[in-house]
Amino acid sequence: MFRTAIVRPPGANFAEGLTSESLGPPDIALALIQHERYCAALERCGLKLVRLPADRHHPDACFVEDTAVLLPRGNVITRPGADSRRGEVEAIRASLDEQGLALQTIDDPGTVDGGDICEAGEHVFIGVSARTNTAGAAQLASLLQAAGYTTRVVDIRDTSGILHLKSGLSWLGDGRLLLIDALADHPAFAGYERVRIESDEAYAANAVRVNGHVLVAAGYPRTAARLRELGYALIELDMSEFRKMDGGLSCLSLRY
């Protein structure tokens, strides 16, 4: 059960952030509306929100998930893979310090983006990507194993169309993963029930199970129908402006 989430709205500089998409610049006013609806959904799921102000120095700062890995038995401040995002961690560290959480860190030369980390109960998948390097993955695996978790590194650098591991993979609980076809046959996931996403709905693979609900991007009807068939209570949210900036549902909060 999650109790708290850290969120941070996009700032006026949001369109200056990093992206590999070619969907045009985000509409800042619409992004703020979508972000507030996302926050309302988290509150509907029973979470208390820690709301940080927009960061005028870091246009990607609304994607708070990349700055930390927060698990019941271990909290790690990351070292984001993009140089321009390294400064985002200070506000997150200060907030977590204020809440009394004990923090460990990823150190140079390691890099880790939280979007590459998928918790599946007592097991944690660690993606090696353009943002999370092998040194960072090894550091994080060591920290998590010391806390009693098992880990598996999944190299996605040759997997097209996804920036982070969780761009194409979500933990649904119940021994079940939601994932894109390009990841579905990876041996790391062999022991799980795999719900495959069709290629034209691949963006919907980044879903978030929060207590009794699953947050899923709106506009992907076959994925939503399949999840409902499996018994999940869905909250569908428009993510159009965040998709333009390589962002997904999980990116917008740190849940713990």
Tokens 């609304």 belong to which residue? 62
* Six token digits for residue 87: 């400064």
Catalytic-residue membership of 123: no
Task: Give CA–CA dist 62/247, Å, rounded.
Answer: 9
Q: What are phi and psi of 37, to 5 degrees?
A: -70, -35
Non-local CB neighbours of 164 within 8 Å, separated by 6+ positions: 113, 115, 116, 127, 129, 131, 132, 156
User: CB atoms < 10 A from the CB of 87, how many?
Assistant: 13
Active site residue 57: no
Distance in Å from the first CA to the final CA of the chain: 8
45, 62, 118, 164: which one is catalytic?
164
Please identify every residue annotated as catalytic: 164, 251
